Structure 1
Amino acid sequence: MHKLLNSFKHAFSGIWYAVRTQRNMKIHVTVALLVILLGAIVSLTWLEWCLVILLICAVTGLELVNTAIESTIDRFSTEPHPLAKVAKDTAAGAVLVMSIGAAIIGIIIFAPKLIEWLR
């Protein structure tokens, strides 16, 4: 049980590190909180909530993986290297692809509700 609790402690420590130190993670968390607030205002269905929560977790989870990749590369290589650049750029690209997909789905979910709510 002690090992299990320690694994949660380390995981939360990693999340907190990313939130404190990574500009993009701060942006993702801020947007996520705004989306949750907006979802409450426009009364999302339970299925819409499930999708929104899944997308928030996917984007922030991928940002955590991106941070881990960048930190690992920085730990072992202080000099620029073409493969380090590829690893960092593709990890960042993965976050960007997921974020764009999440934004598109968010527009599909929220646009009709916002139009109705504004009427």
Structure 2
Amino acid sequence: MENNLKGKSGRRLLNACGYSVAGIGAAWRHEAAFRQELLMAAVLIPIALFSQKPGSDKALLIGSVMLVLIVELLNSAVESLTDRVSLEIHPLAKRAKDTGSAAVMLSLLTMAIIWGLIFL
């Protein structure tokens, strides 16, 4: 089944960029964890860029920070969709939210390991 809401013109890429910016804005407004992680990224990415580490290390450092933001956005999407479907307490809804949270935790752990290995 095709989604009739998707554009078919040359504006598709422009529309997609607009949706992405709207998604980041929604995450900023509604997700405290995303705000905290974005502020963390605002500190850590310049540290990585201005460090005396090789380019490959900088890429790993920045990539690990970006991974946290990406996983947080996906977790927020799962949580929002789960709440949209039903606000009732259900074991599957809990499992969806808990596994999304676990993914965020693992991305943060991965970032900590990478930063620790490169800087320590």
Give the TM-score of the pair, scaled to structure 2. 0.85
Q: 2:26 aligns with which of 17, 25, 31?
A: 17
Which aligned runs of 4 or more in structure 1 are off by greater than 4 angstroms? none
Aligned to 1:52: 61
What is the CA–CA distance in structure 2 between the aligned matches of 1:58 and 1:93, rounded to whole Å? 14
Residue pair 2:48, 2:62 contacting (<8 A) in 1 also: no
User: Aligned partners of 1:32, 1:109: CA distance in 2, in Å?
Assistant: 17
Q: Distance in 2 between matches of 1:60 and 1:92?
A: 13
Q: Let me know the Cα RMSD of the aligned residues.
A: 1.3
Q: Please, which moves more after superposition, 30-39 or 62-71?
A: 30-39
Unaligned runs of 5+ in 1: 112-119
How far off its partner does 1:76 sit?
0.9
- Aligned residues between the structures: 111
Q: C-alpha offsets along residues 32-77 of structure 1, whole Å, 9 cap, x if unaligned?
A: 1111232244323211111122112211111010000000010010
Once the two structures are TM-superposed, the CA of residue 20 in structure 1 deviates from its matched residue by 2.2
1:98 aligned partner: 107
- TM normalised by structure 1 equals 0.86
Identity %: 34
Give the superposition deviation at 1:90. Answer: 0.5
